[in-house]
Every structure is written in C-alpha cells, then in structure tokens.
Amino acid sequence: MRTYRLTAVLAALLGFSAFVHADNGAGTVKKAVERSTLNQHGTKPFHLKAVLAPSRDSDRDSNRTGEVEIWWASPTQYRREVRSPEFHQIAIVNGGHEWQKNEGDYFPEWLREVAVALIDPVPSLDQVLEQVKTADVKKLRGNTYFSWNMMSTDGNVQTSSGAGVSITDGTGLLFYGGGFGWGGMYHDYQSFHRRMVGRTVSAGTPEVTAKVTTLEDLQDVPPGFLGAQASGGDTPLLQTVLVEETSLRKNLLPMEPVAWPPLQDGPLEGALSAEISVDRTGKVREVGTIVGSNQGVNEVARDAIAAMQFKPYLQDGVAVQVVSRVSMAFKTVRPAGVETFESARAYFERGRHVGFPAVANGPPYVLQAVFRAKVSAGTLEEGQYVDTWKSDGEWRREASIDKSRYVRTRHGEKGYELAEGPDASLLRAVLRVTEPIPAMDTFVESDWKIKRDTIDGEKTVRVLTGYESPDGTLDPEHARGYWFDETGKLVKTYFMGIETRRSAFEDFGGAQIAHQIKVLSNGGLVMFINVTQVSPAGNLPANMFELRGHEWTRAFTDEAR
C-alpha cells in the first residue's frame, strides 16, 4: 500500500501548474503582507518572544541558535533584544532617538534577518510591489508565485539571482518572500488582533527556524523601559546597510587571483555570485548560497569570497556593517586523463529524437497503452493512455482510470488542460512517466553530472543532478537521473525516489518506442505501463485537439509537451 501511495505523492508533487496574469498581483501581495505585518500603524502593542535553532539536524554545528524578544508600542517606539552564542544586543527606538548595548563586534546577518522577518515579512514593500507588477506569475500546488531577477555586477560580468513572494491561494496569506537582505517562509498562522502571524518562520542558509513562544498584549511596562536616552549605551550605533556591489567593490583591497579547479562536468567558463555580509572592519563574515554557471567551482569560490578584505564602509563618517553581493568570472579546464562527455543537453535531445515519435519527425500516429494502479478509493484498477499526434501544433494526450480523466492538448498556438476526478494527479504522473525527458528551457547545464554506468549488464551513460552519497545512494528528495544506452535510448529514470525502467523497444517511424515501462519505489513495482498498439493516424478531426474553456499555458514545469 505504501508504494502506491508514494506514486500518488509523486503525482501530487508534480502539481497542476498554470499561467496567471498579474493584473491584480500587487494588490494581492499588498493585502497578504499587511495582514501578517506586526510592525505597522494600527497593530495593538505586543510582546513577542521566539527561539531560534537550525532547521536541519545536519546543521546543528552551525552555531545558529538564539532568542529574539520584542516589546513593541508603535513603529517608532519599541525595545528589541536578540541573543546568540556570539552576539547579544539590546536596542531601543523611541521617536528620533535610538539606544544600543552590544556584546560582540558583529551582528550576525542571519540573526538580523530572522529578527526582522518575525514582525516585518517584507520590509521594502513598496519596492517589492513595483517588482510584482512586472513579475513572472505562476500557480503551483495551491500557491501563486511572483518571481523576478536581481542583477549584480563586478564591473566586468553581470549575474542574476532570484527574488519573489508566494501567496497561499486558499488563505490569501504570505507563504514565502525573499530578496536582497530579507526573506522568510511562514507557517502555523494564528490570529492576533486582526493580524495573522506566522508562528513558525524559516530563513537563511543554513536555514534557521524561529518558533514564536510568546505573542501577547504589551502591558506592565516599567518606567523608562522604552526610553532611548538612558546612559551607558554604545556609540556609535551598530548599523547594517544594504549596498550595491559596485559601491562596495570600491573598498575591496587587492587579492590573489583565484585558482579554479579542473572540472569534469559542465561549462568550463562562466560567472557566479553570492550575497555576503561584511563587518565594520571590512571582513567578510557570511557568504550566502553560490549561484553560478557550474557548481563544481562553488567550494573554491566560497573560500575566495570569504577571504576578501575591504576597507571599512563608511556611512556619514561611521563604519557600518554591509550586506551586498559579489560577482566573479571563472575559467578552467578538464582534468587530464578524464573522459570527456557531451553536454546533458546533447544526451537529452538525442534521447528525445531516438525514443519518442513526436520528436522524431515521423508520420502522425496514435499510441495506445494500458496500466494498472491503485486509485484513491483503495482499489486496484486498469487505466488507459492514448497519445494522438498529428504535428507539433496538433496533438492530444489523455489518461483515464476509474472515475478520473486527465487530458492535455495543443491546437495551433493554444494549449488545453482538463483534469477530472479524484485521481487526476495520478494520471498526470502517467503522462510524465511516458515522456520524462525535461524541456531544454528549464534546467541549468552545470547542475548535471555525467558518467558511465551499467544497468542490468547494459552499458549506459548516466546524466544526474542532485546529491549522491559516496556509496552511490541517491537523495530521494533532490536527486534526478536519466540513463541512456549506447544508441541514445532512455532506459531508466530516477526522480523523487521513484524509478522507471523502460524496455521492449520497437521501431515506429524511425523512433524506438519503449512498449513496457515499470514504475518502482523502494524496489517494488507500483505501476506497469504496457503499450498495446502504435499505428499511423487516419483522418483526425480538428476539434479533437480543442478543449474549449480549458485553456492552459505551460509554466513552472519542465514537461516538453
């Protein structure tokens, strides 16, 4: 039973995606953010306390633990105390006055971002709303995603990194938001005086989760507790500012050229970037996720960025902490004596042309198949799959089982999608399994590693992305692989713990079609797809390729058709 459930989970994770317009996007985001922002006029004064710890057991040694406590009377009158093993700060804001007492020379950026995220999920809301107006907008798994790119340059190469917000459709609440110097993911919403507050907030890399343990009305505040003119404070104040890369680089001291490692896979030349935090002495204290053309250089790049030294960055004559980005170009070679493979793109394109008749420029066809799977009602049922292909602009794929049906079609420039019944997500997975090679516009070449492998005694080339342990175990959450035989046929896939084996190849129109597809989980068979017939298409009525009222545009998916 568990194996069939995993197949259903896979189908659900593939999700139903659709393009949506951003006409009301800014209004939707504005409403969602304002509903969950405590740091705004109209919020009832509150006392909040949260405990912080690494989200994953593997990051327990990151030293990212601590507490945040806030006593808030208004946006211009509050007291905040943050504490971590390396830093402790009490900060009071009262009107135009600010008072601080710090233990430690550096305010960790991960701690600052979490402290802000707890009460102000999108601190630069006006700027974000302007981005939302022109953002890419997509729906996936019950959320609407607004995404855009942030550009950075070192003066020679330009790099980009993603930013965006996501709103949960069912609740209208913020699910995720992230950009330059801010970000968080929000769960466990609870009401507080007309505000919906995420009691669990995750942020940063390595990720930290903050759990709100106290959120109550502010009361019984001692005299002077929110006063910002007490004696004994630190001067100058410890401040963090967001700075563009070109401005920060003016303070960069000379550094040794980076010795890039030889790379077996991916591009040998490209660019990368990362968000960094620099302390008041000019030392790099935190390096965020490396985003670049080839992840094989990431470790060396991280070390090089961490070793950068800047002159102190001054604002109004006072040294401040800086959050910025760093961009770098790299160029390297292949290791001596290592076999050179083609690109992942080449293997994918060849596999598509060799094994799938819709790509092989063959004659129009009708492919019919049957499969068996356990439906949501708990019974084992037989389903049908029909692929009718006339041309790139006219095709129809349909899967049905029990009381459910899933159809995808194209007619000229228009695409259509119809999902009916409780097992529509399972049927969508059938379409994905029968044509699994990802579209070329949805992956980064450098993410893929290529090597030779053997499957049931047959020589293959494996194209893989994601983590693989030293003993060859693939990460079921993130690893994804494709195995091609020496003729280019796709014989095996692995995705989210689900494996497929493709066999019984027969020629049709120059394409070698797999007539048997086994879907396995944990070594057990969870679905068997059997192609029963592939035949030339006769006269096909044009209206079979239209599903009026069910227009669909591919988005947020790597399906080729």
- Is the pLDDT reported for residue 365 higher than 60? yes
Residue 21 reports pLDDT greater than 90: no
The residue-averaged pLDDT of 401-430 equals 95
554 half-sphere exposure, CB direction, 13 A CA radius: 15
> Where residue 8 falls among pLDDT bands split at 50, 70, 90?
very low
pTM, entire model: 0.72
| Per-residue pLDDT at 144 exceeds 60 | yes
- The pLDDT of residue 16 is above 70: no
Q: How far is CA 352 from CA 149, 358, 490, in A?
A: 31, 9, 8
Q: Is 24 exposed, middle or buried (0-12, 13-18, 19+ CB in 10 A)?
A: exposed
Residue 14's pLDDT is 39
Domain 240-331: give its CATH code: 3.30.1150.10
Strands 182-192 and 195-203: antiparallel
pLDDT category of residue 147 using cuts at 50, 70 and 90:
very high
Q: Count how many Cα atoms sit within 13 Å of the Cα of residue 25 in the half-sphere of its side chain.
A: 25
- How confident is the model over 240-265, as pLDDT tens digits? 999 999 999 999 999 999 999 998 87
**pLDDT surpasses 60 at 492:** yes
Confidence band (pLDDT; 50, 70, 90) for 191? very high
The count of residues in the chain is 561
> What CATH class has 344-545?
mainly beta
Q: Before 108, cis peptide (omega within 30)?
A: no
Q: Is the pLDDT of residue 206 over 50?
A: yes
Residue spans of the domains in the chain: they are 22-217, 240-331, 344-545
Model confidence at 4: pLDDT above 70: no
Between 139 and 402, the more confident residue is 402
pLDDT (tens digit, 9 = 90+) per residue, 157-175? 999 889 999 999 999 999 9
245 membership: H or E segment, kind and range: helix 245-249
Tell me if 324 sits within 8 A of 180, measured CB to CB. Answer: no
Q: How many CA atoms lie within 13 A of 142 on its CB side?
A: 9
Candidates 519, 520, 539, 537; CA nearest to 529 is 519
What is the per-residue pLDDT for 446? 76
CA-to-CA distance for 343 and 349, rounded, in angstroms?
10
What does the pLDDT read at residue 1? Answer: 30
Tell me what the mean pLDDT of segment 422-432 comes to: 94
* Confidence band of 208 (pLDDT split at 50, 70, 90): very high
What pLDDT is recorded for position 561? 78
Q: What b/e string do you get for 219-247 counting C-beta neighbours within 10 Å, with b at 16 or more?
A: eeeeeeebebeeeebeeeebbbeebebee
Phi and psi for 133 in degrees, rounded to 5? -60, -30
Integer Cα distance of 66 and 87 in angstroms: 9
* CATH of region 22-217, choose from 2.40.50, 1.10.8, 2.50.20, 1.10.40: 2.50.20
User: At 555, is the pLDDT very low, low, confident or very high (cuts 50, 70, 90)?
Assistant: low
Q: How far apart are alpha carbons 474 and 466 in whole angstroms?
A: 8
Query: How confident is the model at residue 222, as a pLDDT?
Result: 93
Is 240-331 the same fold as 22-217? Answer: no
CA within 13 Å, CB half, 439: 11
Cα 390 from chain centre? 36
The answer to whether residues 4 and 373 touch, using CB atoms and an 8 Å cutoff, is: yes
Let me know: does 382 contact 372? Beta carbons within 8 Å: yes
pLDDT at 103: 97
Q: What is the distance between the alpha carbons of residues 442 and 447, in angstroms, rounded to a whole number?
A: 11
